[in-house]
Structure 1
Amino acid sequence: MNSVSPSPSADSARPADPARPASGVVAPPSLTDREPHVPPERLVAEMVPPPRFDAVRFGTYVPDPDRPSQSEAVQVLRSFAGGLGAKRTGHDRKRWFRRRAAHPGTDGPRGVYLDGGYGVGKTHLLASLWHATDAPAERKAFGTFVELTNLVGALGFQQTVRTLGEHRLLCIDEFELDDPGDTVLVSSLLSRLVDEGVALAATSNTLPGKLGEGRFAAADFLREIQGLSAHFRALRIDGEDYRHRGLPAAPAPLPEDEVVRTAHRTPAASLDGFDALLRHLSRVHPSRYGALVDGLGAVCLTGVCPVPDQSTALRLVVLADRLYDRELPVLASGAPFDALFAPEMLEGGYRKKYFRAISRLTALARDGERLAAL
């Protein structure tokens, strides 16, 4: 991984960053000094469940007894995984998938779509499906919607179809359509993959027929959206956010000097000023945010404040997802995480993404609070 050090003249032009120590003091690593390069082959190889979900299985999912939709989702996905177990290749495999449905023995969509609020365990179930499917790791893929579109950008459309077309299962987490271009791209890609016999599974906070709503003129792309919806059987999962179920309120931000001290004494902890980090994220493609935090043991931030605009907010959402995937404790001073996004953002078309980011950062802040207390 390469890093770029700022020139002395650039340093002198900036206001002092409290996250950077005085001259002569060994500093923790800074995310703003990292310029990760991610080759296309790594994008493909990393399409597996993230480390947080390495050990999850259907048996480790604990349904809320007051929410029967959770137990139903487990049963449907177990059945779906069982229908993918036979090892078939070539023409026979394609014919089998064309007549096989999401529910063995029925006709209909060749995919399942888990819809529900943040924190009800959708990613846990999606990763459990990946693990339960009897296929080599190189014949099943797991990635976020952003990672899938990034893969198309890196490989090109036809090569992505050839690469994923040999898979038995494609799992897409956090399925969202943020612009018309993504709508057409993903609709075309999934149609081609279904024709190749690939089974689909996805999670989202939005029903497939409602994708894009509130973010662009979805009515203008109704055909594409309906085409996407036709690939899936939608399963609604109700429930409250398990990350905060029965837990105390989110921890208050830490004093800045405590964040800095913890960063210096914690192995592999990074330390950054929040404003500087947001500027750096604008120069790093979101597909590289996972590589940006490679090798870290914790992320320490000073001066957290509300994000200034929607583009910045959406980049922060992706970073929060990558931190959560890797179970990296977050220690922060400044504003609390539930004040990151302005009220108008939390009422707009991306509100579900913002609430997910708040939920995940809050969970990581609890881990950070425990780390600071050591």
Structure 2
Amino acid sequence: MDNPTEPLLKQAGPLPAYRSLIDKGDLAPDPAQALAAERLQDLWERLRGYDPRPAAGQAHGGLLARLLHRRHAEEYMPIGLYLVGEVGRGKSMLMDLFFDVADVPRKQRIHFHRFMQTVHSRLHAWKRANPNGTDPIPPLADTIAAEAALLCFDEFQVNDIADAMILGRLFQALFDRGVVVVATSNIAPDDLFKGQPGRDAFLPFIALIKQRVDVLLMTGGRDYRRERMRGLRTWHVPADDRSRHELDEAFAKLTGGAAVKPVVLTVMGRELIVPQAADGVARFNFDRLCNTALGAGDYLAIATNFRTLVLDGIPRLSPDNYDQARRFIVLVDTLYDQHVKLVASADATPDQLYQRGENARMFERTASRLDEMQSQDWLGLAHPA
């Protein structure tokens, strides 16, 4: 797919960019997507040149300055947008079109899970540097607002009690500073953190979100992500140049031509670099994923952040390379539990990958799972994130 946001389209907004993709045949007409594109176009127009930074001498530090700035933000700050719908409805694609053309000097597009990892890391660093118990939320909000007046969150969801307990105060502080939020989610605001212990304390955050963003439900339509998987060959043997080329084509199809770039995940305070990623699809080679010091936490971070993994060059496994085999077993179990789709090249079919020696029997379950993960029923399962 050509870059949909060419210079002239960037000046016109996300709706013309979306219509251009339809005209070129890259997208099929979809009423739910068209409505979302129109709403994003309206927000794009209201955000042109938007910069809520206070004037000189009106820093956030003083109480009066904070109250004045909050009143100013509430009066002039554009209402954001929360796109909610099932997986594969085109929510992320539309938000990316909007983000790319948004005329906002400071903006950030980030997966919500990654954003919260950064928040916790900064809170931890603040508390370590300020052991006297100073409230870390205002300075954290200052930092985030200085980095971005527009925050675009992909896959907004709340599953962690630690996240739930700080979101209300943090987002109130961000909104006080004029930050505008656009988000995509599979979960409506009223259903966030539903059924979890401590949800009553989370309800003010839900009310705040509904006050500061418009919620648009994208119903019906086609599941474009699942359609990309339909008929796709997922296991390529052997792992040679031809298979590499076929994985290149599969990766391009699965990402819908989106811009590919490295992504950094934070796992237990460490950085895990995903070398190639776009539109919920990650790509690794086997050595980088299973021949380095990675473990279950790393694989879970990948599985929760990406719905599909493209994996190059799985070798035959045996007691001679058991550490790699052990990591691969953990990886497959994690992908299986999270319904992550796997497209791979390998030196053998799953039942022939680990044939001899100690632990060969243990690999039988992994081979069985790899076979199941190639079935059309499996490919139709929704990713829980």
Give the greater-gyration-radius structure (CA): 2
Residue segments in structure 1 that go unaligned for 5+ positions in a row: 1-51, 103-109, 270-281, 305-309, 346-353, 370-374
Contact 2:112 2:155 in 1 (8 A): yes
Q: Give the corresponding residue for 2:41.
A: 78
Residue segments in structure 2 that go unaligned for 5+ positions in a row: 56-68, 124-136, 249-264, 291-295, 315-327, 347-385
Alignment-mate amino acid for residue 141 of structure 2: V
Q: 1:98 aligns with which of 74, 87, 99?
A: 74
Structure 1 residue 293: Cα displacement: 2.9
Alignment-mate amino acid for residue 86 of structure 2: G
Q: Give the corresponding residue for 1:162.
A: 142
Higher RCO (CA < 8 A, seq sep 6+)? 1
Partner SS state of residue 157, structure 2 = coil
The question of 1:129 aligning with 2:112 is answered no
Alignment-mate amino acid for residue 206 of structure 1: I
CA distance in 1, matches of 2:242, 2:270: 26
Structure 1 residue 149: Cα displacement: 1.1
Q: Give the corresponding residue for 2:118.
A: 151
Structure 1 residue 286: Cα displacement: 8.2
Q: Give the corresponding residue for 1:198.
A: 179
Structure 1 residue 53: Cα displacement: 9.8
Alignment-mate amino acid for residue 320 of structure 1: F
CA distance in 2, matches of 1:226, 1:217: 16
Alignment-mate amino acid for residue 152 of structure 1: V
Change (3 A) 1:189 1:263: farther
Q: Give the corresponding residue for 2:214.
A: 233
Q: Give the corresponding residue for 2:202.
A: 221
Change (3 A) 1:153 1:264: same
Q: Give the corresponding residue for 1:253.
A: 235
TM-score, structure 1 as length reference: 0.56
Can you list the C-alpha shifts for 1:303-330, whole angstroms capped at 9, x where unaligned? 99xxxxx978743424536x87xxxx43
What is the root-mean-square deviation of aligned Cα atoms in Å?
A: 4.5
Partner SS state of residue 200, structure 1 = strand
Partner SS state of residue 165, structure 1 = helix
Alignment-mate amino acid for residue 231 of structure 2: A
CA distance in 2, matches of 1:116, 1:338: 28
Structure 1 residue 244: Cα displacement: 3.6
Q: Give the corresponding residue for 2:271.
A: 288
Partner SS state of residue 99, structure 1 = helix
TM-score, structure 2 as length reference: 0.55
Q: Give the corresponding residue for 1:299.
A: 284
CA distance in 1, matches of 2:269, 2:94: 25
Alignment-mate amino acid for residue 301 of structure 2: R
Alignment-mate amino acid for residue 85 of structure 1: R
Structure 1 residue 87: Cα displacement: 4.4
Change (3 A) 1:54 1:152: farther
Q: Give the corresponding residue for 1:174.
A: 155
CA distance in 2, matches of 1:254, 1:158: 52
